[in-house]
Amino acid sequence: MSRKVVIVDDVSIKFLLKKERQFSKKKITNLFSRNNKSDDEFWAVRNVSFDVEKGDRLGILGLNGAGKSTILKMIAGVMKPTLGSVKTKGRIVPLIELGAGFNSRYTGRENIYLRGAVLGYPKEFIEKKFDKIVEFSELKKFIDVPLEKYSSGMKSKLGFAISTMVEPDILILDEVLSVGDAKFKKKSFARMMELIENERTTVLFVSHSLGQVRKLCNKAVWMEKGKVKMVGESKEVCDAYANYTASSGKRKERRAKVQNSGKIS
């Protein structure tokens, strides 16, 4: 019986720039640097394929604009690929935008049940987890306050507490280990380690921190300009990526020295 719980098969996704209105100048610059065929479109991801087995902890590495978060959103079902397919097996909990998906007019209590329902859990299950969710979020005093009164950090804490207390089959993380203050970061990291050490939970994790990927993941994917550069064991991919970024940095330093040497002081 196959242990594969995520199959990304030759996936590509295209966006039309004329229809997108929320890109930063930096992101647009990154997008156009990919040699797009038209000024009106860009391919954020091109021909990406990899598999994830049950219990794997897969880290996804790459520079800004590499397509890492886009891949996670397609696996989570938030986005649909233009070409190719994504198949998953099991209950998915995406920790991509922790404060998103809440109703600001509802209280924290109501949003716990709302988020639980969206994730596919029955009310009885959430009731059993409710006290643990509130305790972990550290929002007991505010649990009956509408979320429109919450700070973005408070919403993120609540989102993290809900998503990690429901014991998903597949957990998708996108730079969320920086949630909250130092105390909460330590606690959230410990919670993540509990889930990761549980072989029943498969984890897909995007990070700019090689240290986190080395510590948390057994496998890794290195993406560059929307394409897969390397797939394999975490240590091998992290070592190759570290060497690449180091050599790239040295090349930039050399170019800067050459350019500066031609300036008149």
- Give tens-digit pLDDT for 147-167: 999 998 898 889 889 888 877
Contact 240, 230 (CB under 8 A): yes
Backbone phi, psi, residue 126, to 5°: -65, -35
Is the domain defined by 4-238 classed in CATH 2.60.40.10? Answer: no
Q: Residue 156: is it exposed, middle or buried by C-beta count within 10 angstroms (0-12/13-18/19+)?
A: buried
Q: Provide the whole-model pTM.
A: 0.74
Pairing outcome for strands 170-174 and 202-206? parallel
Position 8 pLDDT exceeds 80: yes
- Is 135:188 a contact under the CB 8 Å cutoff? no
DSSP category for residue 147: G
Q: 3-class DSSP state for residue 199?
A: coil
Does pLDDT of 265 surpass 50?
no
| 96-141 pLDDT per residue, tens | 766 667 899 999 999 999 988 887 889 999 999 999 999 999 999 9
The single-letter code of the amino acid at 255 is: R
